Amino acid sequence: MAAILSISDLRKSYEGGFEALKGVSLEIEEGEILALLGPNGAGKTTLISTVCGIITPSSGKVLVGGHCILDDFRAARSLIGLVPQEINLEPFEKVINSVRFSRGLFGKPKNDVLIEEILKKLSLWDKRNSQVKELSGGMKRRVLIAKALAHEPRVLFLDEPTAGVDVELRKDMWDVVRELKANGVTIILTTHYIEEAEAIADRVGVIADGQILLVKDKDDLMAQLGQKQLCVHLSTAIDTVPEALAPHGLALNGAGDALIYTYDTKAERTGITALLNDVAAAGLVLSDVSTRQSSLEDIFVGLVSGDKS
Amino acid sequence: MNWMAIWSIYRFEMTRFFRTLFQSFLSPVLSTSLYFVVFGAAIGSRIDQVDGIDYGAFIVPGLIMLSVMTQSISNASFGIYFPKFIGTIYELLSAPVNFLEIVLGYVGAAATKALFIGFVILATATLFVDLTIAHPLAMVLFLLLTCLSFALMGFIIGIWAKNFEQLQLVPLLVVTPLVFLGGSFYSISMLPPIWQKITLFNPVVYLISGFRWSFFGTSDVPVGISLLAIGGFTALCLAVIWWIFKSGWRIRS
């Protein structure tokens, strides 16, 4: 599938010398959902803001639908919708006027049927004549989404869309995101919530210190998540893994009192029964057995801390 | 040109004006009435005619200019400063619009509001003094150009300002003194010769003089020079705004 967003060696340095983006390259295919994970200050918002035209890049190239964001900014920006991280809204304006304004700003003619559809989808129709300041935090966030969708973008950036949003509303938003994807909209979202990436993303990217550390299909990552560890605790510590247990590929923990067996939960046979039989046959006495599964968060933390070291 | 965007910004800004229409209307009517009571009736009754014009009528163009200039600046500076302050400027910066379209939307709305207030003051003035306008079309042209040029200046102040105090600084410390010393309430021919020369460095003198000419057919400086001055000021403001958007100064990091 063709790339709708192509970022090549994008760099951003500020006047003080701080380098917020250190040569970011990323290709995003049309119709996919990419979740960008990263700690605070990783460069997520800088990356989004640069693509959207809020920040001027120091160097590098960004193409949106084949249009350069600098040389052909009108065509590039027309394709993009942005939901910012902060709730930035004119407080005294009515919800519906605020959404209409966004559509007009992007040069699109009035379309109240579409605006009604968007507001209804986001459960804002009943509040269309309320002033923005009268809405709850969650509703304001939905107004931001409605404004971003008002000009029918092909690429939607969601900068931490569910930060500070309750679980129910978060799931509503996931449904909206899935529906947008079904309509062919490409979505790039930044998030701190691993489960959000797991729930809705097609691919997951990890950014830290202004660099993309990993971009991978979520399914591949989930396959890694499928790896589970069985920890066989021994009543007496040993120095080495007995020869008879070598075929199982066991590791011994530092104290020598636990054998660690890594297996695939999705495999037809996990090999656990054979392992336990062989452990007993080797004359080892078990004191306990436990299992541990690595999460996307573990992978994320591992990558980020590895980058820092 | 993204005409739809210009219209959207213009309409959005005008909605803010209509939300506070009562204050917008009442404030200039009240202040103009006070000026007429104090300068026209109390002090003006002791002043002879100026350039053959009753003093009450003579100050009308200056009063209109005073309000129009300050209103143009405050409307335009607030119009662009407020999105910066509350963060909604992100939408402007990420939209497919160029600097000219943003300026036309904001400055157009600010100038419209000031123009409206200018006509309200003119209407109020007719309640106090007899007025005949010698060159009505020229009057409207001068008023329109003044609204536009000072709204452009206000737009620059709104981008420059980092807080609400700075937003008030230039209008209070620069514009108001220039307007008061620019012949709003007197003819510069009434000044001592040396001050007649010095006052010609005040750009507002040319605007008020030209505007007064459109009312009474007499002016302190030639009308052509007044038009050149206002045109030059407009061009200067536009050039500064073009540079601001090109460099991203105080709006785009």
pLDDT tens digits, A4-17? 999 999 999 988 88
pLDDT, tens digit, 9 for 90 and up, residues B69-97: 988 998 999 999 999 999 999 999 999 99
Per CB-CB distance under 8 Å, the chain A contacts of B9 are 105
Model confidence at A127, pLDDT cuts 50, 70, 90, reads very high
At A291, list the tokens. Answer: 């299992």
3-state helix, strand and coil shares in percent for chain B, rounded to the nearest 5:
80, 0, 20
Model confidence at A309, pLDDT cuts 50, 70, 90, reads very low
Query: CA B172 → CA A156, A157, B20, B74, B169, distances in Å?
Result: 44, 42, 23, 11, 5
Model confidence at A308, pLDDT cuts 50, 70, 90, reads very low
Decide: A92 and B16 in contact? Cβ < 8 Å. yes
Per CB-CB distance under 8 Å, the chain A contacts of B98 are 74
For residue A164, with 0-12 CB atoms within 10 Å meaning exposed, 13-18 middle and 19 or more buried, which class applies?
A: exposed
Query: CA B162 → CA B84, B166, B168, B169, B172, distances in Å?
Result: 9, 7, 11, 11, 16
Alpha-carbon span B175 to B183, nearest angstrom = 13
The residue among A286, A243, A209 whose CA lies nearest residue A38 is A209
Judge whether residue A23 has pLDDT over 60. yes
Q: Given an 8 Å threshold on Cβ–Cβ distance, is B9 in contact with A109?
A: no
What are the DSSP E strand ranges found in B61-107? none
User: Could you tell me if A97 lies within 8 Å of chain B, comparing CB atoms?
Assistant: yes
Decide: A285 and A240 in contact? Cβ < 8 Å. no
Decide: A248 and A275 in contact? Cβ < 8 Å. yes
In this structure, of A82-91, A265-274, A300-309, B218-227, the range with the lowest mean pLDDT score is A300-309
Of B4, B19, B95, the CB nearest to A92: B19
Give the DSSP letter of residue B38: I
Alpha helices in A216-295 (DSSP H): 218-225, 272-281
Q: How many CB atoms lie within 10 A of CB A244?
A: 13
Of B4, B19, B252, the CB nearest to A104: B4
Q: Please compute the mean of the pLDDT values over residues A239-256 and round it to a whole number.
A: 88
pLDDT at position B177, please? 87
pLDDT, tens digit, 9 for 90 and up, residues B117-171: 999 989 988 888 888 899 999 999 999 999 999 999 999 999 999 888 888 888 8
**Torsion angle of C-alpha atoms B107, A51, B250, A190, degrees rounded to 10:** 110
CA B98 to chain centroid: 25
pLDDT, tens digit, 9 for 90 and up, residues A55-71: 999 999 999 999 999 99
For residue A190, with 0-12 CB atoms within 10 Å meaning exposed, 13-18 middle and 19 or more buried, which class applies?
A: buried
The residue among A36, A107, A50, A248 whose CA lies nearest residue B90 is A50
* pLDDT above 90 as % of chain B: 38
Decide: A155 and A186 in contact? Cβ < 8 Å. yes
Judge whether residue A200 has pLDDT over 70. yes
Of A90, A97, A108, the CB nearest to B4: A108
Q: Please compute the mean of the pLDDT values over residues A143-161 and round it to a whole number.
A: 93
Per CB-CB distance under 8 Å, the chain A contacts of B253 are 14, 54-56
pLDDT, tens digit, 9 for 90 and up, residues A140-149: 988 999 999 9
Q: Please compute the mean of the pLDDT values over residues A177-205 and round it to a whole number.
A: 88
Of B16, B19, B96, the CB nearest to A77: B96
Q: What single-letter amino acid sits at A283?
A: G
At A218, list the tokens. Answer: 């979520």
Q: Given an 8 Å threshold on Cβ–Cβ distance, is A54 in contact with B2?
A: no
Which positions 46-65 of A are in contact with B (Cβ < 8 Å)? 49, 52-56
Question: Average pLDDT, whole number, for chain A?
Answer: 88
Alpha-carbon span A43 to A211, nearest angstrom = 8
Model confidence at A122, pLDDT cuts 50, 70, 90, reads confident
pLDDT at position B236, please? 92
SS3 A215: strand
Q: What single-letter amino acid sits at A107?
A: G
Sheet holding A155-159, edge to edge: A80-83, A155-159, A186-191, A33-37, A203-208, A211-217
pLDDT, tens digit, 9 for 90 and up, residues B50-71: 777 888 888 889 889 988 998 8
Mutating which of A58, A105, A111 best tests the B interface, going by the most B Cβ atoms within 10 A? A105
pLDDT at position A305, please? 67
Alpha-carbon span A7 to A64, nearest angstrom = 9
Alpha-carbon distance A55 to nearest alpha carbon in chain B (angstroms): 5
Alpha-carbon span A179 to A171, nearest angstrom = 12
Give the DSSP letter of residue A268: S
Q: At what angle do helices B99-128 and B21-35 cross, to 10 degrees?
A: 50
Q: At what angle do helices B55-86 and B21-35 cross, to 10 degrees?
A: 150
Per CB-CB distance under 8 Å, the chain B contacts of A102 are 91
Q: What single-letter amino acid sits at B171?
A: P
User: Could you tell me if A88 lies within 8 Å of chain B, comparing CB atoms?
Assistant: yes
pLDDT at position A113, please? 96
User: Could you tell me if A71 lies within 8 Å of chain B, comparing CB atoms?
Assistant: no
